[in-house]
Chains A and B, each alone.
Chain A
Amino acid sequence: MRPAPIVRTCQDVQDPIIFDRRAVRLHRDRAAATVGSVHDILDEAAERLLDRLDDVNRSFGRALDIGGRGVVAARLRARGIETVSIDLSHSMVSRSDAMRVVADEEWLPFGPGSFDLVVASLSLHWVNDLPGALVQIRHAMRPDGLFLASMPVLPTLGVLRGALLEAEVDLCGGVSPRISPFPELRDCASLLQRAGFALPVADADTVMLAYREPLALLRDLRAAGETNAVALRRRTTPPRDLVPQALHRLGDRRPHQTVLRMAMMTGWSPSPDQPKPLKPGQFTVPLAEAIGDRSEALLRDGQPD
C-alpha cells in the first residue's frame, strides 16, 4: 500500500513546530542527575541575570522561576523572595527548594496577577511559540512586574555548528539540524514588545568557556540537558564518524574556546504609572528646534538644486 501523502495545512505554516517538546522533557529528566556538573556555568549565568535586580529600586513579593534547574530558585530565595519554580520535567523541578510545579511555558497554569517577578535563565530557547509564551507570562504578572530572561543568541556554539555541518556534508552529502536555531540579539527586544511588555530592553552579555578538549563541551551540553530537540532532526543514529570528524575540524587548539552569548532581556508588565512615549500631536518642541541648525543644513545640502 502506498503511504498516505503528507498534507500540509495553513495551520502548519502558522504554528511551526520547531522543537520536539517530548524530547526536551526527556532530556531534562535525564539531565536532572547530571546538571550538577555544569552548576558553575548555570550559576554564573543566573547571577549575571539577577544582578539586574540590584539596579531596581523596589522589592518583590512572589517570583516565578522558569526552568531554573534549582540554581535560580536558590538565588531568589537568598534574596528573601518567595519563589515558585516550574519545569517540564518532574525530576528537574525537584532540584529546586522552592514551591514546585511541573508546567509547560506554552501552557502556563497561573492566574492573572500571580507574580510580580518572573525569571527565565537560559530556559526559553526550546519553546516553539515564544511570543505566545511571553504573552502568557505577562498575563500571570501583576501590573508593573518585572520580567527577566536570558537566552542564548548567535554566535553561541557557532563554531561547533559549522564543524558538524561540514562533517555531515562530507559523510552523508547533506545536513540535518543538530543545534538549536538561536535567535539574533536584535530579535529579542522586539519579541518583548510584541508580547506587550513595557520598556523592553535586550542587551548582550558574554561568558567565555575554555575546554581542555572539544569533546568536553559536548559532555557538558548533554549534562545540562541541552542535546538536540529540533523536531526535524534525523531520528536515526548519526553516522559513527560524525562527531570524531567534527571534532577533528575544531582542530587541536587547546584549550578549546567557545562563547556563550546571552541576550539579557528585561521588560515590565504595563501599568498606568509607567513613563510612556507621547502620542503624535502631544509634542511641544518642534523637531527642527530639538535637533538644531545641523539638520537644516543637512536638509538643504541633501536636496538637489
Chain B
Amino acid sequence: MSDSTADTATPARPTPVDPRLLEILVCPVTKTELTYDRDAGELISRKAGLAYPIRDGIPIMLPDEARKLED
C-alpha cells in the first residue's frame, strides 16, 4: 500500500488576507476589532469569543461559520 505522504507534509501557509481589508473589517456581532492569526488563517474576535475562518484568502465573516473560542 502506498503511504499518504501528501497528508503528512506540512500544510501550505493559508493565503493571506489583503491588508487593506484588515483595516476595515470588524467582528460582525460586536463591531469590535479583530486579531489576525496569520498561521491559523483566522480572524479572532476576543469580545465575541469567535474565530472567523479564512478560505482562499477570503474571510468568512458569518457568525454561524465561526469557531467558538474556549476560555
The number of residue pairs between A and B whose CB atoms lie closer than 8 Å in the complex comes to 56
Stretch among A94-102, A182-190, A225-233, A243-251 lining the B interface: A94-102
Question: CB-nearest residue of chain B relative to A140?
Answer: B24
Q: Inside 8 A of A110's CB, which chain B residues have their CB?
A: 24-26
Residue tally, chain A, CB below 8 Å to B: 19
Q: Which of A88, A101, A109, A110 neighbours the largest number of chain B CB atoms within 10 Å of its CB?
A: A109
Q: Does B38 contact A (CB under 8 A)?
A: no
- Given A90-B58, A107-B61, residue A99 in contact with residue B20 (CB < 8 A): yes
Q: Inside 8 A of A94's CB, which chain B residues have their CB?
A: 56, 58
Q: Does B1 contact A (CB under 8 A)?
A: no
| A191 → B minimal CB distance (Å) | 21
Question: CB-nearest residue of chain A relative to B24?
Answer: A114
Do residues B59 and A101 form an inter-chain contact, with CB atoms below 8 A?
yes
Which residue from B20, B26, B29, B60 sits with its C-beta under 8 Å from A90?
B60
Do residues A107 and B62 form an inter-chain contact, with CB atoms below 8 A?
yes
Which residue from A82, A99, A101, A115 sits with its C-beta under 8 Å from B61?
A101
Chain B residues within CB distance 8 Å of chain A: 18, 20-21, 24-29, 31, 33, 55-63, 65
A-B contact pairs, 11 of them (CB 8 A): A84-B24, A88-B62, A99-B18, A101-B59, A102-B55, A103-B61, A104-B28, A107-B29, A107-B61, A109-B28, A110-B25
